[in-house]
Amino acid sequence: MIPWLPPQAPFPPVHLALKHPNGLLAAGADLTPARVLEAYRLGIFPWYNPGKPVLWWSPDPRMVLFPEGFKMSRSLAKSLRQGRYTVRMDTAFIQVMEQCAAPRPGQQGTWINSDIVSVYGALHRLGYAHSVEAWTDGELVGGLYGIALGRVFFGESMFSRTANASKIALAHLVEQIRAWDFGMIDCQVPTPHLASLGAVEIPREEFLRRLAAFLPLSSPSGPWECTANFR
């Protein structure tokens, strides 16, 4: 059993999260910008089906991508050198979320519902949530979004409408936050796709130690601007 959290109730300690399903910690509570930021600072994130109660998770192990561990394939390196995409940050945040929420082959529905779009849109306006966007011929064809706290980027979702577009966005994010001395990208749960890009699983306890070290550091303020250049 997991606890039901009334609004403003504190989160339970993450070591109480279930093993099956991995990381399920609590349900309920208020989905507000303040609550979401509190959760991230504790190593917790929301993930639930539309129309259902909000579920809060802290899996063990945790998948993360260290900037220095990013794996760039030959095809991705070639695409970056060709410069077919223009990469921007924070110019189309809601569009990126909407594209991430769009139906995908083999998936039934999406967890990115209107409430999620609303709260992360508010976090974007507050300067915490950021998007990385790949454009070609004036069209948004790939991107990702997430939250930055201290020197940690908490990745939420990505999408791609053309080959390598989301990887192009990720490569620019990695290069940019490496220049800003970020410590890691939180990928939350493991997938083969993320593993192919260099993400690794670490124990939750190690994740929390690293999180505690990087949170007190400051993040770049204001809308982010992409200055990474691969040509």
For the chain, list the domains and their CATH numbers.
Answer: 4-60 (3.30.70.3550), 63-214 (3.40.630.70)
pLDDT score of 8: 87
Contact between 125 and 93 under an 8 Å Cβ cutoff? The reply is: no
pLDDT score of 109: 53
pTM score of the predicted model: 0.95
Radius of gyration of the chain from Cα atoms? 17
3-state secondary structure of 144: strand
Type of residue at 109 = G
Sheet with 24-28: list strands edge to edge.
Answer: 4-5, 24-28, 55-57, 45-46
Full DSSP string of 77-104: HHHHHHT-SEEEESSSHHHHHHHHHS--
pLDDT score of 67: 97
Q: Indicate whether 108 pLDDT > 60.
A: no
> For 13, phi and psi rounded to 5 degrees?
-60, 140
Residue with more model confidence, 75 or 107: 75
Quick one: pLDDT band at residue 192, thresholds 50, 70, 90? Answer: very high
* Chain segment 27-73, per-residue pLDDT in tens: 998 899 999 999 999 999 999 988 899 999 999 999 999 999 999 99
Contact between 183 and 210 under an 8 Å Cβ cutoff? The reply is: yes
What is the Cα 229 distance to its own chain's centre?
22
pLDDT score of 173: 98
* Chain segment 93-103, per-residue pLDDT in tens: 999 999 999 97
pLDDT score of 50: 83
**CA end-to-end distance (rounded Å), the chain:** 53
Q: What angle do CA 70, 110, 118 make, to 5 degrees?
A: 90
